[in-house]
Amino acid sequence: MQIQAIQKEQCPAAKEVILAGFLERFGFIDHTLNPDIQDIWSEYMQGDHLFYVGMDGDRMICTGAIRRESQDTFQVVRMSVLKPYRKHGLGRRMLVHLEDKAISMGAQKLILETNKQWADAIQFYKKNGYSETHEDEVSCYFQKEFPL
């Protein structure tokens, strides 16, 4: 898999990768819940928000993004791997890429959230060094700190 910054013309395909994951997990898609993926280019490729895609040849197979939350904190968002490509370390490769990029931009802490019903996602983040900070009715929240 080759990881690259998203190109404008790839935005519709990235949206489809993300929506495929939602459809798989929820059985339906509520487009009002994810306004940031309606215009990925404007939402992520301006300033200190960045969106990446993982490519297998010319096929997009995963996505991941980071958002600057403060001077030293970034949020990991839009991690998604198409189902046939899971369990091959691709999600981990994307996550490490996002971490490295955030650190190069001054991150000392990464935060993220995931649905608390997604046991595999929760386990994935824990296995990759993220600590659960809290949860609410819907989500589990995690963080990972990076020393200077």
Overall average pLDDT of the 92-102 stretch: 96
Q: With residue 90 as reference, give the H or E element that holds it.
A: helix 90-104
Collapsing DSSP to helix, strand or coil, 76 comes out as strand
Percent of the chain with pLDDT over 90: 74
Q: Has residue 148 got a pLDDT over 80?
A: no
Indicate the pTM of the whole model: 0.91
Q: Has residue 16 got a pLDDT over 70?
A: yes
Percent of the chain with pLDDT over 70: 96
CA distances, 110 to each of 23, 94, 98, 137 (Å): 27, 14, 10, 22
Instruction: Decide if 111 contacts 132 (C-beta within 8 A).
Output: no
Overall average pLDDT of the 71-94 stretch: 94
Pairing of strands 50-56, 2-5: antiparallel
Q: Is 4 left (phi over 0), alpha (psi -120 to 50) or beta?
A: beta
In angstroms, the CA 92 to CA 26 distance is 23
CA distances, 142 to each of 77, 90, 100, 133 (Å): 12, 20, 18, 5
Place of tokens 């403060």: 70
pLDDT at 28: 67
In angstroms, the CA 111 to CA 62 distance is 20
The string of pLDDT tens digits covering residues 23-62 is 777 676 776 778 888 899 998 988 789 999 999 999 999 9
In angstroms, the CA 50 to CA 74 distance is 11
Provide the pLDDT confidence category of residue 104 given band limits of 50, 70 and 90: very high
Overall average pLDDT of the 2-25 stretch: 90
In angstroms, the CA 121 to CA 85 distance is 15
